[in-house]
Amino acid sequence: MAQKPSIPRGTRDFSSTEMLRRNHIFDTIRRIFSLYGYLPIETPAMENLTTLLGKYGEEGDRLIFRILNSGNFLAEVPSQALAAADTPAVIQQISEKGLRYDLTVPFARYVVQHRDEIVFPFRRYQIQPVWRADKPQKGRYREFFQCDVDVIGSDSLLNEAELVMIIDRIFSELGINIVIKINNRKILAGIAEIAGAGERITDITVAIDKLEKIGPEGVRQELLQRGIEPEVTARLEPILNLKGSTDEKLGELRSAMAGSAAGLKGIEEMEELTGYMAMQPARATIELDLSLARGLNYYTGTIIEVKAADLPFGSICGGGRYDDLTGIFGMPGVSGVGVSFGADRIYDVMLQLSLFPEQTGSSTEVLIINFGGDELPALMKMASTLREEGIPTELFPEPVKLKKQFSYADSRRIPMVVIAGSNELAAGQATVKNMKTGEQTALPLSALPAFIREGKIS
Amino acid sequence: MAQKPSIPRGTRDFSSTEMLRRNHIFDTIRRIFSLYGYLPIETPAMENLTTLLGKYGEEGDRLIFRILNSGNFLAEVPSQALAAADTPAVIQQISEKGLRYDLTVPFARYVVQHRDEIVFPFRRYQIQPVWRADKPQKGRYREFFQCDVDVIGSDSLLNEAELVMIIDRIFSELGINIVIKINNRKILAGIAEIAGAGERITDITVAIDKLEKIGPEGVRQELLQRGIEPEVTARLEPILNLKGSTDEKLGELRSAMAGSAAGLKGIEEMEELTGYMAMQPARATIELDLSLARGLNYYTGTIIEVKAADLPFGSICGGGRYDDLTGIFGMPGVSGVGVSFGADRIYDVMLQLSLFPEQTGSSTEVLIINFGGDELPALMKMASTLREEGIPTELFPEPVKLKKQFSYADSRRIPMVVIAGSNELAAGQATVKNMKTGEQTALPLSALPAFIREGKIS
């Protein structure tokens, strides 16, 4: 085979360097999740199509990767469908499973399926890849990771406040300055209602969600195209353009919303949440953003979105409250709230801002030069001792030229190299070379672990 | 939807308890891998079928899950093939990608594709799920995890010795007593050769690999069925039945193998490896097992297999040396050696032997009772302080009845509960209840973190 092998478009290999950086992100996220009592679950990559289809809209259904049934899968397909090359008819016969499209629907399925084993309120997190047959482009992949954290079975807005604290802490530990935008779906419903178009809430939210991307004039056009009358739009605008602090905005909204029960409830929730958030002030900026809608229709209360303050990236984290996620699987009336961290975008932000620690994670700290022959038992023992002390150690596998072994240490960016020939070993000594400074230090074997750990003789 | 949702046959959800246990296994494996300088990589779940097909034999090809092309995939299929419901012809037209079947072939593809970026010898590990359209049965799943560790680009048998040390250390840390069986493919080739059937090495190894499962008579029958003449079998048997220590077996083999260059080379390699292993004696029992073959044809040197000593399980880890894994992708002459840990079987062994720590991993350590109202700011501050100290903490999200909050702590097996009402908080005090003993301790708020960490007042 002369051609270099490749991987499918929109998928990626992760090298060791990328993996160590990614693990730095995932480990931070995981550690903070568990500090707040969230526990991991995992669901299979494949779900039954009955679970997946109809949950993400028509476009979503088209983007689900489907898995071919095994065996002679055409045998069961009606011959007319085949003869007519009727793709939609045939597809139903030859495929029963698909790759998960997000972590939310599998989570809802999980909760319903395991309802009898779960202790509510159920706090879970889930970090797994998802797959979408989207057109690949820069920053958009067909396989990417989601990190979802949700609590289900509790109406309390304390949960929202804790999620904001979790977001604040994670991005602070990663070194990313953020702005957390908050809104409430009920306030959006109220705004639509007092503008005289309560039943058009979906069209309205989809349009105003684009404010940042397409500007006020773009939103006006989009609303018009969606059949929202210009006078409705005119009534929406002053509300969406409210300025001032969160308290000021809420005050003005309250008088504007006098006629909308939903709107008033939304304001009440936002005030309660603001109160909780004030009890443990976040490091990040938190803003009430009335144009924040997030497309997903299952949100019913608080909506949360996070952006990097120092880069014009899109959202790097977002979520909200849903009152009936499990209803689609026959378990109505269970409220939950959650957010999803976009690992790939967070990675890109950190790379652009040079936020990764130089030595991310568990790289080799020391290479022992292999002189072969009689020294080998002593060198193997040295390697063992260092590893027992928790120091990642390599003994070069072949007694090749020193130059080659040093060049390996260099390319792998191993910070220290131990040189111990037969004379030194006989004297109970070794020499450590610091690969960054070039400095060489001779020291007794017993001092080796401490020296390597601290980079100096203690 | 009245029917409870379900997942595809042969796949699994992992609950928090299962995840914490699995992570205990994966974290141990990862930590030891990195102590030996192995670094993580990951490859995509989907590979091009050109990468996967033809690498696992005909049966393997059938077991690969194929992904349907997107869009109107039938449009391109020749109408005769459709009209004839010709599955093999149609499948090639409607599917270009498949789910990975193991981690070895994607690793070989990775090495060839990224050869210019890789520093050799390349030590990598990879822990990811694989998928096989096998018939599901007890202990056999359609989605399961492999943990592979390989070094590629080094011929040295020191690598084999280090892998044995890694195996020894991992299972020792997990608390599993093991037997490590070792053989060498060249010795097997030598045995076949001196029995007068060198060219039948594959049939012979496949048959003798089953010795443990079907016994000597079964192997005799299997060899006969595979067309190996009875006199060859008669010449094989005394060698396979050699008794004694590794040194004794190697001594007897050496004289029996005088006529086989491959066999003598295998004995030499085994002696060299035995020498290395003697330099850092393993805790586990290591045995030369001449019937150990492992079905996979790509092994060319050392073969390794691990079994649990205390349970009649199959192999829980295994691997070997391959001289030409990347040859299939156009990069010949690169030797490697690696082993794969069977996470699911290790999990089952540990469960049966009750080897999991009671509190595996990062469960919540303390629940703070929520009294609502005016106490909330102080309780949120308490939760924050405990989390800053690294203690996984929950504040119950609703101020419901004490009984309900305690019953939650109980079901979740949270070991401690903090009760601090307004009077106690005003006095700077809190009470901690140990949920196991029922003991209650009143103490100053400042002593809380140390008490929860150590379970006592210091």
Q: Please count the other Cβ atoms lying within 10 Å of the Cβ belonging to residue A403.
A: 8
Do A87 and B72 make contact, defined as CB atoms within 8 angstroms?
A: yes
Q: Which helix (H) or strand (E) holds A93?
A: helix A87-94
What are the chain A neighbours of B276 within 8 Å (beta carbons)?
376, 380
* Residue A22 pLDDT greater than 60, yes or no: yes
Among the partner-chain residues A48, A124, A155, the one whose CB lies closest to the CB of B8 is A48
Which residue has 């030194």 as its token pair? A424
- In tens digits, chain B (458 residues) has pLDDT values of 456 899 999 999 999 999 999 999 999 999 999 999 999 999 999 999 999 999 888 889 999 999 999 877 788 788 888 888 888 888 888 999 999 999 999 999 999 999 999 999 999 999 999 999 999 988 889 999 999 999 999 999 999 999 999 999 999 999 999 999 999 999 999 988 988 888 888 888 888 888 888 888 898 898 889 888 888 888 888 888 888 888 899 999 998 888 899 999 999 999 999 999 999 899 999 999 998 988 667 889 999 999 999 988 789 999 999 998 899 899 999 999 999 999 999 999 999 999 998 765 458 999 999 998 889 999 999 999 999 999 999 999 999 999 999 999 999 989 999 999 999 999 999 999 999 999 999 999 999 999 999 876 65
Instruction: Give how far Cα A85 sits from Cα of A78, B69, B263, B387, Å.
Output: 11, 15, 58, 60
Contacts with B, A 247-286, CB within 8 Å = 276, 279-280
Instruction: Name the β-bridge partners of A441.
Output: A432
Q: Please count the other Cβ atoms lying within 10 Å of the Cβ belonging to residue A367.
A: 26
* Residue A361 pLDDT greater than 70, yes or no: no
What are the chain B neighbours of A70 within 8 Å (beta carbons)?
62, 65, 133
Q: What is the average per-residue pLDDT within A278-298?
A: 87
SS3 A240: helix
Quote the tokens at residue A385. Answer: 């001792």
Q: Which helix (H) or strand (E) holds A304?
A: strand A302-308
CA–CA distance, A380 with A261 (Å, rounded to integer): 75
CA–CA distance, B409 with B431 (Å, rounded to integer): 15
> What single-letter amino acid sits at A118?
I
CA dihedral A429, A434, A440, A444 (to 10 degrees): -20
Query: Nearest C-alpha of chain B: how many angstroms from A208?
Result: 31
Query: Nearest C-alpha of chain B: how many angstroms from A48?
Result: 6
pLDDT value of position A458: 55
Quote the tokens at residue B334. Answer: 């690169």
Confidence of residue A127 (pLDDT cuts 50, 70, 90): very high
Confidence of residue A1 (pLDDT cuts 50, 70, 90): very low
Instruction: Name the β-bridge partners of A130.
Output: A144
Do A16 and B39 make contact, defined as CB atoms within 8 angstroms?
A: yes
> Mean pLDDT over all residues of chain A?
91
CA–CA distance, B381 with B383 (Å, rounded to integer): 5
Do B8 and A46 make contact, defined as CB atoms within 8 angstroms?
A: yes
Quote the tokens at residue B281. Answer: 């004696």
Which residue has 């409250």 as its token pair? A321
Does the beta carbon of A330 lie under 8 angstroms from any beta carbon of chain B? yes
Mutation site for B-interface testing, chosen from A38, A62, A68, A160 by largest number of B Cβ within 10 Å: A68
Contacts with B, A 169-208, CB within 8 Å = none
Predicted ipTM of the assembly: 0.92
Among the partner-chain residues B12, B66, B121, the one whose CB lies closest to the CB of A397 is B121
CA–CA distance, B126 with B130 (Å, rounded to integer): 11
Do A328 and B1 make contact, defined as CB atoms within 8 angstroms?
A: yes
Interface A:B, Cβ pairs < 8 A: 301
The chain A residue lying nearest B377, using CA atoms, is A279
User: For the residues of B341-384, what is the DSSP string, one character each?
Assistant: EEHHHHHHHHHHTT-S-SS-SS---EEE----GGGHHHHHHHHH
Mutation site for A-interface testing, chosen from B82, B97, B283, B302 by largest number of A Cβ within 10 Å: B82
What are the chain A neighbours of B378 within 8 Å (beta carbons)?
none
pLDDT value of position A360: 53
CA–CA distance, A381 with B281 (Å, rounded to integer): 10
Among the partner-chain residues B31, B41, B51, the one whose CB lies closest to the CB of A5 is B51
DSSP 8-state code for residue A358: S
CB A138 within 8 A of CB A9: no
pLDDT value of position B237: 83
> What single-letter amino acid sits at A164?
V
Among the partner-chain residues A68, A72, A376, the one whose CB lies closest to the CB of B95 is A68
Do B15 and A114 make contact, defined as CB atoms within 8 angstroms?
A: yes
Strand-strand pairing, B416-419 and B366-368: parallel
For residue B445, give every residue at least 6 positions away whose Cβ sits within 8 Å of its Cβ, in sequence order, or none: B382, B420, B425, B428, B429, B430
Does the beta carbon of B450 lie under 8 angstroms from any beta carbon of chain A? no
CA–CA distance, A93 with A73 (Å, rounded to integer): 8
CA–CA distance, A269 with A436 (Å, rounded to integer): 56
Instruction: Give how far Cα B133 sits from Cα of A46, A97, B340, Å.
Output: 12, 12, 20
First-residue to last-residue Cα distance in chain A: 56
Return the top range by mean pLDDT from A67-71, A86-90, A378-382, B210-214: A378-382
SS3 A295: coil
Nearest CA-CA partner of A251 in A271, A279, A275, A272? A271
First-residue to last-residue Cα distance in chain B: 56
Contacts with A, B 353-412, CB within 8 Å = 361-364, 370, 376-377, 380-381, 384, 387, 390-395, 397-398, 408, 411-412
Q: Please count the other Cβ atoms lying within 10 Å of the Cβ belonging to residue B397.
A: 21
Does the beta carbon of B11 lie under 8 angstroms from any beta carbon of chain A? yes
Contacts of B359-362 spanning 24+ positions with Cβ under 8 A:
B359/B413, B359/B415, B360/B20, B360/B21, B360/B23, B360/B24, B361/A34, B361/B20, B361/B23, B361/B24, B361/B27, B362/A30, B362/A31, B362/A34, B362/B20, B362/B392
Mutation site for A-interface testing, chosen from B28, B119, B173, B418 by largest number of A Cβ within 10 Å: B119
pLDDT value of position B1: 45
CB B208 within 8 A of CB B343: no
Do B280 and A119 make contact, defined as CB atoms within 8 angstroms?
A: no
Query: Nearest C-alpha of chain B: how many angstroms from A298?
Result: 18
What are the chain A neighbours of B143 within 8 Å (beta carbons)?
44-46
The chain A residue lying nearest B127, using CA atoms, is A19
CA–CA distance, B24 with B5 (Å, rounded to integer): 30
Does the beta carbon of A47 lie under 8 angstroms from any beta carbon of chain B? yes
Residue A210's Cα: distance from chain center in Å? 22
Q: Please count the other Cβ atoms lying within 10 Å of the Cβ belonging to residue A3.
A: 8
CB B301 within 8 A of CB B126: no
Do B280 and A2 make contact, defined as CB atoms within 8 angstroms?
A: no
SS3 A419: strand
Instruction: Give how far Cα A144 sits from Cα of A25, A130, B48, B80, B304, Å.
Output: 14, 6, 18, 39, 35
Among the partner-chain residues B86, B99, B279, the one whose CB lies closest to the CB of A380 is B279
CA–CA distance, A274 with A259 (Å, rounded to integer): 23
What are the chain B neighbours of A149 within 8 Å (beta carbons)?
none
CA–CA distance, B222 with A82 (Å, rounded to integer): 44
Contacts with B, A 102-161, CB within 8 Å = 109-110, 112-114, 117, 119, 121, 123-124, 129, 131, 133, 142-143, 151, 154-156, 158-159, 161
Confidence of residue A56 (pLDDT cuts 50, 70, 90): confident
Q: What is the average per-residue pLDDT within A197-225?
A: 85
Do A394 and B65 make contact, defined as CB atoms within 8 angstroms?
A: no
CA–CA distance, B97 with B45 (Å, rounded to integer): 10
CA–CA distance, B65 with B130 (Å, rounded to integer): 10
